[in-house]
Chains A and B, each alone.
Chain A
Amino acid sequence: MAQGDFNLENEWKYLIYRLGGELYGSPLLSVKEVIKVVKIKPVPYTVPHYRGIISLRGNIIGVVDLRIKFGLAPQENKYGGNVLIVENDEMMIGALVDDVDSVMALNKDDVDLNPAIETKIDTKFFIGIAKVEDSLINLIDIAGTLSNEDLKVISRNRGVL
């Protein structure tokens, strides 16, 4: 990540979204685009959280259901849901969320970067917990959370296509 390109103010801007009724947040700059869910084409022989592929302006993008990935109960999106298009160094990944809530600028004081929590998943993609108006927001690095295995799958799909 080219951190130097962004000023401090932008560093602390987060895109807040919902997953299973809970608020999650990801750095705004890690998200390339927010799109409305279109028809997701299922792909056989994939892991459960891999929902399939979509076509965005001619690019085939694999979509991962973050609910399933995070071990939450799977749920059909009421309002169609949103897909956050995330770009890492190799490729673009679509992350399916229930709903995008807002863009929030967080103060450093509001963020607890080292909370005492136990988790099964790799905590290197867990940024911390923000406290905003009585509610807690999990701050997650979306790009990092997708494992290498996931990336492989997506990459191979793209290769086949």
Chain B
Amino acid sequence: MTNVSYKMKLIAINFFTGIISLYFLIDGAINSNFGQSFWLAGVTLAVISFLFYVLVLRPMDTFCENYFDNTLETLEKLIKNFSKISKNSKEYLSNNTKELDLLLEQDSVLAELNFSIDKTLKNAEESLSYMNKSKNMSEEGKRVLDGLKEAMDGIRGAASALEEIISVIGDINQKTKIINEIVFETKLLSFNASIEAARAGQYGKGFAVVAQEIGNLALMSGKASLGISSLLENSTNQVKELGTYIQEKIKDGERSADECKRVFVEISDGLPSTLSSLDTVFGLMRKQQMEMERIVGNIAKLDQMIKRDGTVTKEMTLAVAELTKDADELNEHVVSMNDFFTVGNIVERRNSGQQYQDQYQYQNQNQNQFENNFDNGMNGTNGSTNNNYNSDLIIKDGGSNFNQDNLFANGGKNDSSEVNGLSNVEQEMNNIEDQLNPMKEVVNGDNVSAVDRAREIAELYNKSLKKNVDTSDTPTANDSRFKDNE
């Protein structure tokens, strides 16, 4: 408004100067004192005001007309481009949503895979613990078998003690043989005594009885000795049989124990290799799990990125709205200036600017609606997959990598910076799309395994992040998308 009042002041001063000069001129004409100073002053003022009009106000008007014409043209272009940006942002967002859906699908598959890996890991852990248990058991079994072998040795000692018994019995038998000898001798003695008694006749009658008794005793002794001998023989045989039996059984037991031990040794020897292979499997599984977790993490990151892109678009849209608003304000100024200079076609231009603005507002409305839908969809998927994709968190630091503050910082100040900002935005969009396209291809690729795909996605995203940083630092005028659309 200061510009307007200044212009008005200029015009008012010019008008006032004209009036004063007219007054002086008329006064001079009435009084016919043309030679007087008042008349001269009137002439001078008239000349000055004419010159002011011709030299200052007219050229200024022409200049302003030309200048604002150009400005308005630029603004028209600007607004047109804004609407395009808005449209493209929408498309970009919808594409992103599709990609996100694909990614989320992938993510649920990955979650399932992760779950199954978890389960397998648990099973493997269980079997590992069982194996450890059986290893301990086999060690225990080996110890028990060693004990058994010691016991066997003890029994063997007992068996050798049996052999000692046999030798003792042999000694007894030897003694019995002596008894037998004595019995034999006694018998002979008794026979000879009987013979001598018979020879003594009547006198040897008593002695014959004694001899007979001695013979009987010898006979009894002989029988007893014979009984002892047979008993000893039986005992010896039995003990021998027992000894042999025990020895055989000990050998059998030792064989069994050795076999058992061998089996245990085989088990406990085989267990470490099984354990180590299981450990290897375990390690691989853990690695796989870690990779899986990383993949899931990357997908979460990716999700964040995409959301952030959404936020960027949103912010971009907001910035565009701001820009449009600024442009509108600028337009208003132009209009008011042109009003002042009474340039007729300004009104028309103003109307067309209003039209653009309306169009933009409509689009912005759609954009907001779409974003709301998108957020809702995101929340729904969050609920189903139970993954912690905190959209608030994402929005909090969203866009910090994309430098859109720089992009829009100069928005609305002057035309050239606006154009630069716009080209940057377009370029940014193009870059993002260029980076997303291969991702999309990767996501849609059927022959690549899920893990590899996720890994590739993560790598691509890392690359894109780097690229983003690079491009935001050094923007290049790569405008192919917009050119194609035009």
Contact = CB atoms under 8 A, between A and B. Distances in A.
B202 A7 contact: yes
B188 A5 contact: no
B195 A34 contact: yes
A103 interface: yes
A103 B197 CA distance: 12
Interface string B439-464: 00000000000000000000000000
A111 B195 CA distance: 21
Interface residues of A, number: 19
B254 to A, nearest CB: 44
Chain A CB within 10 Å, residue with most, of B184, B190, B195, B215: B195
B220 interface: no
Chain B CB within 10 Å, residue with most, of A5, A102, A103: A103
Contact of B191 (A7, A10, A34, A79): A34
A57 to B, nearest CB: 13
Contacts of B201: 5-7, 10
B192 interface: yes
A154 interface: no
Interface in A95-117: 100, 102-103
A103 B199 contact: no
A90 B195 CA distance: 20
Interface string A1-23: 00001110010010100000000
Nearest to B189: A34
B185 A36 contact: yes
B194 interface: yes
Nearest to B188: A34
A15 B191 contact: yes
A2 to B, nearest CB: 11
A36 B198 contact: no
A82 interface: yes
A100 B188 contact: yes
A64 interface: no
A112 to B, nearest CB: 23
Contacts of A15: 191, 194-195
Contacts of A33: 192, 195
Interface string B188-212: 1011101100110110000000011
A45 B380 CA distance: 137
B185 A29 contact: no
B215 A102 contact: yes
A32 B195 contact: yes
A103 B188 contact: no
Contacts of B198: 6, 10, 13, 28-29
Contacts of B195: 15, 28-29, 31-34
B187 interface: yes
Contact of A103 (B184, B202, B212): B212
Contacts of A13: 194, 198
A43 interface: no
Contacts of B215: 102-103
A35 interface: yes
Contact of A36 (B184, B190, B211, B219): B184
A102 B191 CA distance: 7
B275 to A, nearest CB: 74
A100 B199 contact: no
B187 A100 contact: yes
Nearest to A35: B188
Contacts of A34: 188, 191-192, 195
B230 to A, nearest CB: 15
A100 B219 CA distance: 12
B188 A79 contact: no
Contacts of B194: 13, 15, 28, 103
Interface string A44-74: 0000000000000000000000000000000
A6 B194 CA distance: 14
Nearest to A36: B188
A79 B198 CA distance: 27
A10 B187 CA distance: 20
B198 to A, nearest CB: 5
B397 to A, nearest CB: 121
A135 B29 CA distance: 213
A29 B199 contact: yes
A82 B212 contact: no
B299 to A, nearest CB: 108
Shortest beta-carbon contacts, A-B, top 10: A103-B194, A34-B191, A10-B198, A28-B198, A34-B188, A29-B198, A34-B192, A100-B191, A33-B192, A13-B198
24 contacts: A6-B198, A7-B202, A10-B198, A10-B201, A13-B194, A15-B191, A15-B195, A28-B194, A28-B195, A29-B199, A31-B195, A32-B195, A33-B192, A33-B195, A34-B191, A36-B185, A36-B188, A79-B184, A100-B188, A100-B191, A102-B215, A102-B219, A103-B194, A103-B215
Given A7-B201, A15-B191, A103-B191, 16 more contacts: A5-B201, A6-B198, A10-B201, A13-B194, A13-B198, A28-B194, A29-B195, A33-B192, A36-B184, A36-B185, A36-B188, A100-B187, A100-B191, A102-B215, A102-B219, A103-B212
Interface of A: 5-7, 10, 13, 15, 28-29, 31-36, 79, 82, 100, 102-103
